[in-house]
Amino acid sequence: MSDDRLRMTPGPTEVPSRVRERMSEPTWNPDVESEFFEFYRVLTDKLEPVYGGDDVAILSGEGILGLEAAIASLVAEGDRVLCVSNGIYGDGFADFVETYGGEAVTCRSPSTDPLDLEAIKSTLAEGEFDVATMVHCETPTGTLNDLEPVLSLLEDHDVLSVVDAVSSLGGAPVPVDEIDVCLGASQKCFSAPPGLCVLSVSDRAWEKIESFETRSFYADLEPWRTAADEEWFPYTHATSNLFALDAAIDVILEEGVESVFDRHADAAALCRDRARELGLETYPESDELASPTVTAIHLEGRAQEVQQQVQDEHDIVLSTGLGEHEDDILRVGHMGHNARRERVERTMDAIEAVLE
């Protein structure tokens, strides 16, 4: 079956053929074949150049499982959690916190603004917090948050940090060394199929995780600290997905992580330039806040119509905004394998043709 469709959504991204082919390898039995654990250990080591330090674990489940697992495992009953947010994913952490018995205090700035450092400072000064959550790339608005000043405030107050870097990890540098739990997923900048979430955990986060009994079984991170060494996973792992992720990481490492980041920055700059040439506004206004992995284009009241036409007439799949912005934002993903000039050009040509 031929498939010429170009999928330029901010995840899932296109999976290169080499990665897809790895999925057709014979499936191992991870409970019986100990080679599987060696493979898993090598894979988590390989992820380190992308992640930069800390222990890495790979869970079988979509990215959302990682967000839930981080909260289920780090937030004990009655813990106070500071949810720093300027978007939908940032807000969503508060729901997980409350589900697991924590008290969420949200520090919210508008979607078009950076994280509000002054508000974070005064909230931290007003009361004790155990954990703080934030999002690196707010995918729905294409905003890349500057995390370092927030992380250093948290460090001063001895608060554990949880960062959703699902849509930036592997496409942009993430200050993982300063983050206690950093969350990624296979289907975004890694350009592997959906089905795995990848997370790094600091020593002090492991200590907190081991200090109390979580209410969850499937989302409990505790067994993952020793899983590879003790050769016991809490459930049968998704072997074919792991093979694919392994091939996807090889693709990234062969190109070189720096070159991969440059390619994303270049694709993003081109995408914004082309949008501006068409007289369109992009989110956020300042280039400094614009994500290298996804561009959000303002198309008041016609984003869905343009998305549909681009798909029907040009065979290119795009995303719209989420929630209240569903019909106001058109999103072009340039993540992983799709972060290439020619793909962005082809996409922007199609948008241009539809708008004319």
Ligand X SMILES: *Cc1c(COP(=O)(O)O)cnc(C)c1O
Where does this chain bind ligand X (CB under 6 A)?
Answer: 11, 62-64, 89, 135, 139, 164, 166-167, 185, 188
Nearest distance from C-beta of residue 166 to ligand X, angstroms: 4
Q: Cβ closer to ligand X: 185 or 248? A: 185
Residue 78 backbone class (left: φ over 0; alpha: ψ -120 to 50; beta: rest): left
Give the strand order in the sheet containing 80-85.
55-60, 196-201, 181-185, 160-164, 131-135, 80-85, 103-108
- The CB-nearest residue to ligand X is 63
| Six-digit token string for 49 | 């150049």
By C-beta, is 84 or 135 nearer to ligand X?
A: 135
- What CA dihedral angle connects 320, 325, 327 and 332, to 10 degrees? -20
- Closer Cβ to ligand X, 113 or 231, answer by number: 113
User: Given the complex with ligand X, which of 64 and 265 has the nearer CB atom?
Assistant: 64
Q: How far is the CB of 232 from ligand X (least distance, A)?
A: 27
Question: How far, in Å, are 29, 84, 142, 183 from residue 38 at the CA level?
Answer: 13, 38, 38, 23
CB-wise, 63 or 321, nearer to ligand X?
Answer: 63
**Shortest distance, position 277 Cβ to ligand X, whole Å:** 27
Return d(Cα 44, Cα 284) in angstroms, integer: 34
Q: What is 46-110 written as a DSSP string?
A: HTHHHH-SSEEEEEES-HHHHHHHHHHHH--TT-EEEEEESSHHHHHHHHHHHHTT-EEEEEE--
Could you tell me the smallest distance in angstroms from the CB atom of residue 255 to ligand X?
22
Minimum gap (Å) between residue 126 Cβ and ligand X: 28
> In the complex with ligand X, which residue's Cβ is closer, 11 or 30?
11
Distances from the Cα of 37 to the Cαs of 43, 183, 232, 250, 338, in angstroms?
A: 10, 22, 9, 18, 31
By C-beta, is 62 or 231 nearer to ligand X? 62
Q: Shortest Cβ distance from residue 306 to ligand X (Å)?
A: 21
Which lies closer to ligand X via its Cβ, residue 188 or residue 274? 188
Write down the least CB distance from residue 138 to ligand X, Å. Answer: 7
Please, where are the H alpha helices in 157-302?
203-210, 227-230, 239-255, 257-277
CA-based diameter of the chain, in Å? 61
Strand partners, 183: 164, 199
| Closest distance to ligand X from the beta carbon of 14 (Å) | 15
Q: What is the dihedral sign for C-alpha 150, 197, 184, 297? A: negative
| Cβ distance to ligand X smaller for residue 153 or 166 | 166
201 bridge partner residues = 55, 181
For residue 352, the minimal CB distance to ligand X (Å) is 26
Q: Angle at Cα 103 formed by Cα 100 and Cα 108, nearest 5°?
A: 115
